[in-house]
A and B are shown apart, each in its own frame.
Chain A
Amino acid sequence: MNQRSFRERFSTNNGALAGLTILSLVVLAALAAPLLFPGDPLDIVGRPLTEPFEDWRFPLGTDRLGRDMLAGLVHGARASLFVGLVAAGGAILIGILVGAVAGYFGGWIDEALMRLTETFQTVPGFILALALVAVMGPGVVSVAIAIALVSWTGPARITRAEFLSLKQREFVSASRVLGQGHGHIIFREILPNALAPIIVLGSVIVAAAILIESALSYLGLSDPNRATWGQMIAGGRAVFRSAWYVSAIPGFAILLTVLAVSLVGEGLTDAANPRTGRR
């Protein structure tokens, strides 16, 4: 019954539905990229700086070297979504481990892990990501790792808070009495009940990760051999005044995608919490 009403609450939220639609389109485009635009999206295929809608072979025009903007956009979605999902997944995984252990065991372990978390929280995330990528070398994987390493603190704190309250509950005492091990209690008993707010936070991290990835690749700290949205914006920066669309189109793609992810995340929050949902 709870499951059904959750879906109902989500599906009556117009913003969330719009977000889901846009996000699905972006995911679909990313998945279909090799079919839609086989070959290298960085290939020079047409006259440089063809304007959008000028030549129907390149509906969104071409960049300074004559590379198809639409192909770059669709392939760039792969990089953005890959980084967004992997980074968020990694951040949640680290966060759950740290938060669960800290919240469940308490005591000095909790103290130590929370001080570590605070240390990470005090360092500006983007600067740390920048430094990490500079050390690891530019690339999609290193960008994903760097973003995961700077965004796990939120999930860690939420997980810890959930664990602190849940571990007092009867069902946890019951499994303890039954002689279950710590691992079983943490991952099979408490975690499933703590997951909802963590998943909601995950969507926020995806949105942030896409933005950080774009910023890093704008600064040239991504794999120069792959099409990414940030890189496309950077490439168009030199001709911004004469050919604004080279920067504006990938910029708009980032805006739409991040907006969609945020809308879906908000929808999830509202749906998971009926009281705020009825606002």
Chain B
Amino acid sequence: MAPRLTRRTLVQGALGAAGSSLVPWRAYAQGKRGGVLMVAADTEPAHWNGAILASNGVFFVSSKVLEPLADQAFGGNGIKPVLATSWTPAADGRSITFQLRSGVKWHDGKDFSSADVAFSAMEIWKKLQNFGRVLFKDLEAVETPNATTAIFRFAKPIPSQLIVNALPAVSTVVPKHLYENTDATQAAHPQNQKPVGTGPYTFAEHKRGEFVRLERNPSYWASGQPLVDRILYRRMADKGAIAAAHESGDILLSCFSAVSTPDAIRLGKVKGLQVSTKGYEGILYTATIEINHRRKELADARVRRAIRHAIDPKFMLETVFNGFGAIATGPIPASGAPFYTTDVPQYAFDTARAEALLDEAGYKKGADGMRFALKLLPAPFFEQTRLTGDYLRQALRRIGIDAQIEGNDAPGHIRKVYTEHAFDLAVAALVYRNDPAISTTVLYRSGTPAGVPFANQYGYADPEMDKLIDQAASEVNDAERTKLYVAFQKKVMNDLPIIPLIDFPFLSVVSDKVVNHHNTPRWPCASWADVSLA
């Protein structure tokens, strides 16, 4: 039997092959003060409110300004306190008490207090946020006995492990006094365009299409931090230009594979630059085909299985991903212990089988060799999703599905797929965040209102699936919970409501001048309070 191919062995193999300069990051205890951190930003979201849209593209900038209750960390139990200093779940699973940091001030000088946490939880996370809507749906109230205590009360028992695992992504706290009685969902809301937070950097200026400027927050709660005077995100849409800017030293850092993988492998050999996949352990992506079940052809599981049979993930991994990644066996990546299982239906690359399934479903080839046409929308955020779209079109045409690619800009793509449902197939890169109940089950649970991105906007509604998801979300016993998620993975791979293809980490390119970087499992979305420049 061949050794099991995990993401880690594969990435290590690929990195090893890519060159000796892809070595572990150097870590320094404390850096010197001052300097401007120039960062390449290859996308530009419609707003910067990470509390509403928990997405890495938003966090990349907003997490320096707005902070969560806790963030991910290497070592320990994987979670380190930020705005909360400790948390205690009740034995019955129906409440969790957070002790909040005292002496924290918003950038406008007002005091941060438990009222802000209660407002964020009840009005923003629970009502508006892509993950929070599901995660906090049973949140009844947040009690604030004093300014530094917030007690979350749930209608049903909720696994405390889940809440804690979720904190880094879902618990971005926004100022109550600036959002109260306003429509926070408006992208044009002044706070969404120029957020006021508690973070190490203040949001100074944003010129759309040009740059975002963050300035050092001199009254940050952690003494001695931040170390850098200014972070300047330069909007650079062209990957080649970003690679060149790295070589010329115009930018010191780019994240989320802002340079193409072939260029990254080349840059890794350039003196003074480092390339790695470290710092993305907590935000692995899965290249996934999203499917609109409102199309009658795609509502048929046989057609969806045929699509999966038509795809050669091995080829995709080698070409589109240049070997950085692993073939997805299901909705949870291999690193998703203890939930991950390989005991799920698998689909071989077999075009004959795919064609047989389509014939069986009643979609015979027409005179032109095509069975039916589909509109395919590859997400424009990542090179990997765009190239996957190109590959997918050809793979589908081979089995007689005439896939027509439609290109959109980032806001247009999100609107068309997640609000207007004006797609048949889409290619997305969906994040796995620590716990299936945070990032993954929202893709399969029915009942999400239109407009919530990266959630089930696929018209897929299966009562059995919903029941499984709901049970697991309120199961307090860890072993029982794991069992339910194993059943969930089996059902996903049997029904294929959407199709996971490749689990992949992103690449960062960083100059040797940057000190203390990639030191948390979701570093591009961390606060960067400890970063300094040599």
Chain A residues packing against B (C-beta within 8 Å): 40, 42-44, 48, 64-66, 138, 220, 224-225, 237-243
Contact = CB atoms under 8 A, between A and B. Distances in A.
B393 to A, nearest CB: 7
A43 B403 CA distance: 13
A220 B413 CA distance: 14
B123 interface: no
Interface in B335-357: none
Contacts of B383: 238
Contact of B263 (A66, A225, A241): A241
Nearest to A134: B409
Interface in B366-420: 383, 387, 390-391, 393-394, 397-398, 404-407
B317 to A, nearest CB: 12
B238 A239 contact: no
Q: Which 6 A-B pairs have the closest CB atoms?
A: A238-B260, A224-B405, A48-B319, A239-B262, A242-B262, A238-B239
B394 A43 contact: yes
B360 to A, nearest CB: 26
Contacts of A64: 262, 319, 387
A238 B320 CA distance: 12
A225 B405 contact: yes
B238 A65 contact: no
A223 to B, nearest CB: 9
Q: Interface of chain B, helix or strand or loop or mixed?
A: helix
B78 interface: no
Contacts of B431: none
B240 interface: yes
A43 B394 CA distance: 6
B409 to A, nearest CB: 9
A238 B406 contact: no
Nearest to A235: B390
A271 B404 CA distance: 46
Q: Interface of chain A, helix or strand or loop or mixed?
A: loop
B320 A65 contact: yes
Contacts of B318: 48
23 contacts: A40-B397, A42-B393, A43-B394, A43-B398, A44-B315, A44-B391, A48-B319, A64-B387, A65-B387, A65-B390, A65-B391, A224-B406, A224-B407, A237-B239, A237-B240, A238-B239, A238-B263, A238-B383, A240-B240, A241-B243, A241-B262, A241-B266, A242-B265
Nearest to A44: B394
Given A43-B394, A238-B260, 17 more contacts: A42-B394, A43-B398, A44-B391, A48-B318, A48-B319, A64-B262, A65-B394, A220-B407, A224-B405, A225-B404, A225-B405, A237-B240, A238-B262, A241-B240, A241-B243, A242-B262, A243-B262
A44 B316 CA distance: 11
Interface string B160-176: 00000000000000000
A138 B407 contact: yes
Contacts of A44: 315, 391, 394
B397 A237 contact: no
Interface string B243-265: 10000000000000000101101
Contacts of B243: 241
A44 B407 CA distance: 20
B238 A237 contact: yes
B254 to A, nearest CB: 13
A138 B405 CA distance: 11
Nearest to A247: B240
Nearest to A238: B260
A239 B322 CA distance: 12
A48 B322 CA distance: 10
Contacts of A138: 407
Contacts of A225: 393, 404-405
A225 B265 CA distance: 30
Contacts of A240: 240
A238 B405 CA distance: 20
A42 B397 CA distance: 10
A192 to B, nearest CB: 44
A40 B394 CA distance: 9
Contacts of B394: 40, 42-44, 65
Interface in B160-204: none
A56 B269 CA distance: 32
Q: Which of B239, B262, B266, B404 has the most CB of A within 10 A?
A: B262
B273 to A, nearest CB: 13
A239 B404 CA distance: 25
